[in-house]
Amino acid sequence: MWMMVMYDLPVVKEKDRKIANKFRVFMEKEGFSMVQYSVYAKFCGTREKAEAQKARIEEGVPEKGKVSIIMFTDKQFGDIVHFTNHKRKKSKEIPDQLVLFSDEIEQENED
């Protein structure tokens, strides 16, 4: 299960910029990666973990602005089409952290 958070927060006033930056830092601390400016994604694993993550995001949403949370499956994530400078790019695989974990299990099984 993947989660994407998209937001549009006011940044005209200095106070608003600080709040928007605080939310961006919060998203990064929660393990999200920037997909595009104000669009962040994270692999959550199960629906239960995604729901728990959604609750944490809801607690951190600023008073002003708009925040949207989308959850979707690995298959749906793999079907996303990306273009950079008019060139089509492949979707990202499941994050390396899971590959590292599976490598550790394989090493334990070999011992």
Q: How many domains does the chain have?
A: 1
How far CA 76 is from CA of 50, 56, 73, 81, 91, in Å, comes to 15, 23, 5, 10, 10
Q: What is the DSSP letter of 47?
A: H
Band of pLDDT at residue 7, cut at 50, 70 and 90:
very high
Tell me, what CATH number does 7's domain have? 3.30.70.240
* Confidence (pTM): 0.76
- 31-89 pLDDT tens trace: 999 999 999 999 999 999 999 999 999 999 999 999 999 999 988 888 888 888 988 87
The residue range of the domain holding 33 is 2-110
